[in-house]
Amino acid sequence: NNHNVNSHATAATLKLEFGAESATCRDPCNAVALGCPGSVVVTGATLVATDKTLDYSLLQLSRANQDLISFFGYVSLRKSPPKLHEPIYVVHHPDGFPKAFTDRLENGTETVVTSINVQNECGQDQIGYMADTRGGSSGSPVFGRSDHKVIALHHCGGCENVAHGIHNIVADLKTKWKHNLPRCFFHATSSQSQCSLPQPHVELVGYDSGSVSAASPKLCCELCKKQRNCNAFTWTENLDQRRNTRGGGTCWFKSQVGTLVRTTGGVSAVVLS
């Protein structure tokens, strides 16, 4: 959002974490704000465009940092406006906690667009919806459940949350900033990995089903998928005690997730169904 980042100086010093999520719902980091660090952290970005009225900022990472996060793929935007009463979900980090998906209220009611023209103290011509968010949810994408495309940018909470329609933001980028967005903005790729994002400083204890040497944790997912009974893994770095040097590591395959322990050296993930 513009109310988060609105200057080149702020953008240049940003610390951006990717993959700040937990391997399972049982991970102790779920209960700690900022307790699930991102698996990839980069610093600095270029402010390409920003607008206070629509409360958005468009940032661009350096080519080197783009390569570091290419693993995550990217989402796509919907060109058309949101539809009244269409089901939606919000992907966010409320209060700095790990990534959360809000698609239902506490009473079990699904989250939907409740208004397409909200006028309040947060702004004009906004999209309204009922979804549980907290401080720190600002800037989160609101997805349409029918096509999983971003339809709005969350920016203000209340009894009825509000966001600015992504179609209005795209129009502003074209008219005011003269940015013709590339096709990839509207046609997303997806990560090719069949495992959850590797979580640093997490070790899965128990249910060992095998092991193999691997230079990095990125190789463990494919190796795990080739095992007959592997549903999760932990990668640990090798340490030569005599030379006090590090090099390569080991993938420890797990038949079940087991117990999660916070460590300084382990990296863990689970196989996605």
Looking up residue 217, the CATH number of its domain turns out to be 3.50.4.10
Q: How many helices (H) and strands (E) does the chain have?
A: 4, 16
Indicate if 17 and 114 belong to the same structural domain: yes
pTM: 0.73
Indicate if 175 and 235 belong to the same structural domain: no
Q: What is the DSSP letter of 187?
A: S
C-alpha–C-alpha distance, residues 36 and 244, integer Å: 29
Residue 96 φ/ψ, nearest 5 degrees:
80, 10
Indicate if 160 and 213 belong to the same structural domain: no
Residue 76 maps to which CATH number? Answer: 2.40.10.10
Indicate if 47 and 124 belong to the same structural domain: yes
Indicate if 258 and 176 belong to the same structural domain: no
C-alpha–C-alpha distance, residues 126 and 118, integer Å: 5
Indicate if 178 and 220 belong to the same structural domain: no
- The H-assigned helical ranges of the chain are 8-12, 63-69, 166-175, 220-225
**The pLDDT of residue 199:** 79
The answer to whether the Cα torsion of 226, 227, 231, 234 is positive or negative is negative
Q: Which of 152, 185, 218 is the last residue of a domain?
A: 185
Going through the chain in order, the beta strands assigned E by DSSP cover 15-18, 40-43, 46-51, 56-60, 88-92, 100-102, 113-120, 123-129, 141-144, 150-156, 161-165, 199-205, 208-214, 232-240, 245-254, 259-270
Q: Is the pLDDT of residue 25 over 90?
A: no
Indicate if 101 and 151 belong to the same structural domain: yes
Indicate if 14 and 112 belong to the same structural domain: yes
Alpha carbon 188 to chain centroid, angstroms: 15
Indicate if 40 and 156 belong to the same structural domain: yes
* Share above pLDDT 70 across residues of the chain, in percent, rounded to a whole number: 95
C-alpha–C-alpha distance, residues 264 and 236, integer Å: 10
For residue range 132-142, list pLDDT tens digits in order. Answer: 899 889 999 99
Indicate if 266 and 169 belong to the same structural domain: no
Q: Is-contact 15 40, C-beta < 8 A?
A: no
Q: Name the nearest CA neighbour of 122 among 52, 59, 173.
A: 52
The answer to whether position 192 is within a domain reads no
The answer to whether position 2 is within a domain reads no
The answer to whether the Cα torsion of 94, 100, 101, 103 is positive or negative is negative
Total domains present in the chain: 2
Query: Residue 58 in 3-state DSSP?
Result: strand
Q: Is the pLDDT of residue 149 over 80?
A: yes
Residue 152 φ/ψ, nearest 5 degrees:
-160, 165
Q: Which of 185, 215, 244 is the last residue of a domain?
A: 185
C-alpha–C-alpha distance, residues 161 and 82, integer Å: 15
Indicate if 161 and 213 belong to the same structural domain: no
Confidence of residue 217 (pLDDT cuts 50, 70, 90): confident
Q: Which domain holds residue 108?
A: 8-185
For residue range 153-205, list pLDDT tens digits in order. Answer: 999 988 899 999 999 999 999 999 888 777 777 776 555 557 877 777 888 99
**The pLDDT of residue 193:** 58
Mean pLDDT of 92-106: 92
Q: Which of 150, 185, 220 is the last residue of a domain?
A: 185
Find the Cα–Cα–Cα–Cα dihedral 72, 128, 96, 75, rounded to 10°.
0
C-alpha–C-alpha distance, residues 69 and 75, integer Å: 13
Q: Is-contact 76 188, C-beta < 8 A?
A: yes
Indicate if 42 and 114 belong to the same structural domain: yes
The answer to whether position 72 is within a domain reads yes
